[in-house]
Structure 1
């Protein structure tokens, strides 16, 4: 009887082991799934040359000529071109240089003196050569800029319709400028910007004719607001995703 029970138990254990083995064989090998690479944010690189254009407005400062009010069209249209180069120093900081020229429309700054003499300055354009320093977060950039400014002036002094020779202590064509703006890369190689820029061309006074010397000095400055677009070179990796490797 004992032998029979032992034989029965051994037979049952063998059947159980055979069933587990068969079930494992039916399931086959465990498949291996490769984990996809982790996604990283796109990279943006501001380093490179750029060229572009801009449109905006010019607003003259509150100018007087020794207490004598100067009349002008204080809000004028402007449009022009710019070119420059940027260096991206790190993931957050950018430095660069930029040259800019803007044509100015319909500017007539006049001083009508009590003795009948009329001074006129027709400012035809303004330009600047500046350095700029900015903070970037991917496609966005905010910056400050400053440097040399130039004013393209066409000045006259008349008595009635007759031209009168004159001389100024300073031609107020050379000055300085400061500004700030924001720029955004909206497509490969393309960025758009908005910018405020202040131009200061200093003080001037007449040194001749003698009748105008007592009237003192006047100050020439401009406030500008511009919107522009740039085409940027050397941005082949614009928006390229980076995959992390394991």
Structure 2
């Protein structure tokens, strides 16, 4: 009897275990995975290289007569032709290879699709010799019985020594690692420009014993740091954790520059020795603006990235 009861109890126990195995499980599901970290948020530093070319290479020089022998129509005519020859448009060059570095901070927001930030950079400009010379001739015109010809050479130089920007950036992530952005803000640069005027006449060749000086010279220059604005856009690709590469275009404008090109004074030689026959004052003007195309690489520290908090 006892043996029969033991066998029955064992069968009931085995049957209950089998039924329990078929029942559905009521364990809680596993938590969702953590969202990906904000790849773009935080500080970064990098290097860049590329090229720049000027938007306005012209240097305008204008001249006006300010003095001549009082009451002398011939001297006044000479001064007017001298001013005409000392006026014109010449060329300068602000193009060249650029290279430098940048530092910035990004903030990734709006579900991780937008990236805003600020960036500062500075680049040196390596350019060739920018001296340009233009030669003009005025005349022949009557001057105290002579048939006068004036030949003028205007030599100009224009350079951009360095350029930098401080800009805001706003971009859209087409993929988690590809950023398309626009940018704009302040631009600054070290500029230099100069003008030299040399003028020759044939007076002594015609009247060697009674002539004015055969040459006159004047010059002027400007060199300073200019501040203006810049705008552009680019693409940036996060190709490795903490590393990105970018290509970028910027337009910059540092404004107009005006400076004196000096006094072009023609004095008497054997004719009225040391007397001012013709005085011409000259002024030059140019604009510093241009284009930048460059590529760069950045290292992202993610120091300023906001912590991720998972919600369930």
The TM-score normalised by the length of structure 2 is 0.57
Q: Distance in 1 between matches of 2:219 and 2:104?
A: 40
Cα distance, 1:85–1:134 mapped onto 2, change above 3 Å: same
- Aligned-pair CA distance for 1:229: 0.5
- Of residues 179, 183, 186 in structure 2, which corresponds to 1:148? 186
User: How many correspondences in the alignment?
Assistant: 222
Greater shift after overlay, 35-44 or 91-100? 35-44
Cα distance, 1:85–1:199 mapped onto 2, change above 3 Å: same
Unaligned runs of 5+ in 2: 1-12, 61-87, 136-151, 199-216, 265-279
Q: Which has the higher strand share?
A: 2
SS in 1 for 2:302: coil
Contact 1:167–1:209 at 8 Å: present in 2 too? Answer: no
- Name the counterpart of 2:169: 132
SS in 2 for 1:109: coil
Q: Distance in 2 between matches of 1:48 and 1:243?
A: 20
Contact 1:45–1:235 at 8 Å: present in 2 too? Answer: no
Q: Distance in 2 between matches of 1:154 and 1:221?
A: 13
Contact 2:133–2:155 at 8 Å: present in 1 too? Answer: yes
- Of residues 87, 92, 99 in structure 2, which corresponds to 1:79? 99
- Name the counterpart of 1:105: 126
Aligned runs of 1:171-210 on 2, under 5 Å?
A: 171=224, 173-210=226-263
Contact 2:167–2:185 at 8 Å: present in 1 too? Answer: yes
Cα distance, 1:139–1:236 mapped onto 2, change above 3 Å: farther
Q: Distance in 1 between matches of 2:260 and 2:182?
A: 37
Listed one character per residue, the Cα deviations across residues 148-189 of structure 1 (whole Å, up to 9, x for unaligned) are 2112234444568xx965255x95722211111111211111
- Aligned-pair CA distance for 1:53: 0.2
Q: Distance in 2 between matches of 1:112 and 1:200?
A: 26
Cα distance, 1:150–1:164 mapped onto 2, change above 3 Å: farther
- Name the counterpart of 1:51: 45
- Aligned-pair CA distance for 1:55: 1.2
- Of residues 52, 61, 64 in structure 1, which corresponds to 2:58? 64
Contact 1:188–1:235 at 8 Å: present in 2 too? Answer: no
Q: Distance in 1 between matches of 2:281 and 2:46?
A: 44
Cα distance, 1:42–1:213 mapped onto 2, change above 3 Å: farther
SS in 2 for 1:45: coil
- Aligned-pair CA distance for 1:122: 3.0
- Name the counterpart of 2:297: 229
- Name the counterpart of 1:166: 220
Listed one character per residue, the Cα deviations across residues 178-222 of structure 1 (whole Å, up to 9, x for unaligned) are 111111211111111110011112122333414596566322212
Q: Distance in 2 between matches of 1:113 and 1:220?
A: 21
Are 1:89 and 2:109 matched, yes or no? yes
- Aligned-pair CA distance for 1:96: 1.4
Cα distance, 1:158–1:227 mapped onto 2, change above 3 Å: same
SS in 2 for 1:29: helix
Cα distance, 1:40–1:69 mapped onto 2, change above 3 Å: farther
The TM-score normalised by the length of structure 1 is 0.70
Listed one character per residue, the Cα deviations across residues 108-128 of structure 1 (whole Å, up to 9, x for unaligned) are 434435433422123221111
Contact 2:262–2:282 at 8 Å: present in 1 too? Answer: no
